[in-house]
Amino acid sequence: MEKSISMPVSIYALGGLGEVGKNMYCIENDKSIIIIDAGVKFPGIEFPGINYIVPDFTHLKNNRNKIKALFITHGHEDHIGGIPFLLQNIHVPVIYAPRLAAALIKNRLEEYRMADHATIKEYDSDTKVKVDLFTVSFFRVTHSIPDSFGIVVDTPEGRIVSSGDFKIDLTPIGKDIELTRMAEIGKEGVDLLLSESTNAEQEGYTPSEKNVYDSIDEIIKNANGRLIVSTFASNISRIQQVLESAVSHNRKIAIIGRSMEKAVDISRSFGYIHVPDNSIIETEDVKRFPNNEILILCTGSQGESMAALSRIANGSHKDIHIIPGDTIVFSSSAIPGNGIMIDNIINQLARSGAEVITNSILNDIHSSGHASRQELRFMLKLMKPKFFMPIHGEYRMLRLHAEMAEDLGVKKENIFILDNGDSLVLSKGKVKRGYPVEHGVTYIDGKDINSLAEPVINDRRVLMDDGMFAITVSIDSKRNILLTRPSFYVRGFIDQGNKQASEELKTLLEDKIKEKLYSKPSFAELKLLIKEVAGLYVYRRTKRAPIIIPVILSKN
């Protein structure tokens, strides 16, 4: 009898480790690669002008012939938002996604004019997919969006389970978590568990979505004026609660923000959101109804400058403006790094006379979609993995999750805290560290995958912090003489009214340029001189290092 040849399986992340966002996990052998999720990360203020951050796909491009399928756990942007950029790089033969996520992906690809770039197939709990030597199956979990799943990958070398994003909500808005199926998977045997770690710092259990409804309903019931509720467009369960309460209290609903409008439309078409047609109005019709009969649902809970709530707060929205008596509800938690932007919006709203309500002990208007420590322990108990790799979290979260696994009996040497690009190798039911794969980040400015390099990002940071200084010099390149004194264009770092400093620098530059012109310098040499002289002067005077742009006008 011929002995089968072992084909070890590599497991690695291109995004999602040491961070919250841009989730992308890969399972690879000598013949095939399957990918689990392809998300984006939303930049904070430290990335000026950047729309999204996605993984570097170089490793996948170098192995494009091995890529067989992309599996999506659920429809949140940090799990599906990178798909258009991935498809601009490589061909993915088929994308498997739950029903709602499949609809959201199709909509996103239409926005990017890429509807014909992907074959999308829906799956549910009963689906099994054979991909070469991999067999993929699914189990339903509860999260803040319907149709969320964990994924089981059976290979000849052992079984890998990815939890997806989950919490153990026993009174969910929607279908139940499949605890029995999860227990069966654990009983059958799990060699390697990948489990999310986002709430690993939170002890206890994450509150049920049902708990939030009473608080939201109380606010909507008691508000005397207009209500403006902001949450994530992808938090379908929360949106359903808000709309249900609005209808019960006879409020007309205006929906603002393209992503919110799309999410509601798609979710209504699939039956995940129920609201009568006559309860929804256009934004221009808001003024036709009494203030206490209006609820506005909008994007912008993270303080994003171009989102609907920011435009309402700063007065640039064409139909909706804050009036005294408005109540603004932030039904979400702050993504790390967005606190300053959110505080700025809250202050703007308060100055305009609005009452602002955020999540607190007194106002329980948000519940996370992620498992707290007791639920993470429960997942470990159900799956009983031999080896464990915490995923989806910053390093401290991964470490805390790893410590929990050790406390529950997983051997310390069988627990792996990895960074993006690190790999594990599964062979004959055993897991060990492998060789790293090429990885990194890609900055998206707009909708094009032609990413911005790190030097461009650094230039933007300098512009934001230290400003820009353009210096124009006119010379006669035949006679090598300076025709006029240097002129300045300054933005963002120095008082342009400081005539003394301006005259000092002009004189200094004039002398140095005249001296340099005796040696018949090239334009590159002149530009370097201007940068050095102006840069040193400005730094000595202001302790700032702006971007200096020399412009040389030449008379031939």
Residue 454's pLDDT band (boundaries 50, 70, 90)?
Answer: low
pLDDT of 456 higher than 80: no
Strand partners, 327: 227, 355
C-alpha angle 156/162/167, rounded to 5°? 155
Which amino acid, one-letter code, is at 71? F
Cross-sheet strand order for the sheet of 9-15: 120-122, 95-97, 67-71, 33-36, 24-28, 9-15, 423-427, 430-433
Helix or strand run (H / E) with residue 390: strand 387-391
Separation CA 142–CA 149 (nearest Å) = 8
Measured torsion, CA atoms of residues 463, 466, 468, 473, in degrees rounded to the nearest 10: -150
Distance of CA 458 to the CA centre of its chain: 20
Q: Dihedral sign, CA of 495, 497, 498, 500?
A: positive
In whole angstroms, what is the distance from residue 549 CA to residue 556 CA? 22
The pLDDT of residue 301 is above 70: yes
Q: What percent of the chain has pLDDT over 70?
A: 91
Asked whether the CA dihedral 541, 542, 545, 550 is positive or negative, the reply is negative
Contact in structure between 147 and 73 (CB atoms under 8 Å):
no
Q: How many CB atoms lie within 10 A of CB 14?
A: 28
> Above 50 in pLDDT, residue 517?
yes
Name, in order, each residue with C-beta under 8 angstroms of 395's C-beta and a sequence gap of 6 or more.
18, 417
Token pair belonging to 347:
């202050």
Q: Which of 260-264, 467-471, 487-491, 501-505 has the highest mean pLDDT?
A: 260-264
Convert the pLDDT of each residue in 117-145 to its tens digit: 899 999 999 999 999 999 999 999 999 89
| CATH code of the region 467-555 | 3.10.20.580
pTM for this model (two decimals): 0.79
What is the distance between the alpha carbons of residues 24 and 312, in angstroms, rounded to a whole number? 35
**CA distances (Å), 188 to each of 181, 384, 432, in order?**
11, 10, 22
Answer for the pair 7, 30: CB distance below 8 angstroms, yes or no. yes
What confidence tier does 332 reach under pLDDT thresholds 50, 70, 90? confident
> In the structure encoding, which two tokens stand for residue 228, read together?
């403006």
Q: Lowest-confidence range among 197-206, 485-494, 514-523?
A: 485-494
Q: What percent of the chain has pLDDT over 90?
A: 57
Q: How high is the mean pLDDT of the chain? A: 88
CB neighbours of residue 466 within 10 Å: 19
| CA-closest candidate to residue 481, choices 512, 529, 507, 517 | 517
| All residues at 6 or more sequence positions from 394 whose CB lies less than 8 Å from its CB, including other chains | 18, 19, 20, 336
Q: Is 450 helix (H, G, I), strand (E, B) or coil?
A: coil
Q: Which tokens go with 271?
A: 């039956």
User: Count of CB atoms within 10 A of residue 59's CB?
Assistant: 19
CATH classification (class only), 209-357: alpha beta
Identify the weakest region by mean pLDDT among 164-178, 221-235, 407-421, 509-523: 509-523
> How many separate helices (H) and strands (E) can be counted in the chain?
15, 26
Token pair for 385: 């993995």
By three-state DSSP, how is residue 228 classified?
strand
For 105-119, the pLDDT digits (tens) are: 999 999 889 988 899
More confident residue, 517 or 295: 295
CA distances from 132 to 29, 31, 68, 95, 135 (A): 10, 8, 8, 15, 8
Strand arrangement, sheet containing 252-256: 280-281, 252-256, 294-298, 227-230, 327-330, 355-357
Between CA 332 and CA 342 the distance in angstroms is 11
Q: How far apart are CA 179 and CA 241, in angstroms?
A: 25
Map out the domains of the chain as residue ranges: 9-204+368-444, 209-357, 467-555
pLDDT at 458 over 70: no
pLDDT higher than threshold 90 for residue 389? yes
Could you give the 3-state DSSP secondary structure of residue 360? coil
Sequence-ordered list of residues with C-beta below 8 angstroms from that of 34, at least 6 positions apart, any chain: 26, 27, 28, 68, 69, 70, 71, 131, 134, 136, 153
Strand bridging mode 120-122 / 148-155: unpaired
Q: Nearest Cα to 291, choosing from 224, 220, 222?
A: 224
**Residues 466 and 547: beta-carbon distance below 8 Å:** yes
Amino acid at 373: R
Please tell me whether residue 99 adopts helix, strand or coil conformation: helix
Q: How does pLDDT run across 341-359, given as a tens digit for each residue?
A: 888 888 989 898 899 988 6
Token readout for 248 is 């019960």
Confidence of residue 2 (pLDDT cuts 50, 70, 90): very low
The topology (CATH level 3) of 9-204+368-444 is Metallo-beta-lactamase; Chain A (3.60.15)
Instruction: List the structure tokens of 178.
Output: 């499949």
**Per-residue model confidence as pLDDT tens digits over 369-383:** 899 999 999 999 999
Tell me what pLDDT residue 487 has.
Answer: 86
**pLDDT tens digits, 45-82:** 666 667 788 999 999 999 999 999 999 999 999 999 99
Q: 232-251: per-residue pLDDT in tens?
A: 888 898 899 899 999 999 99
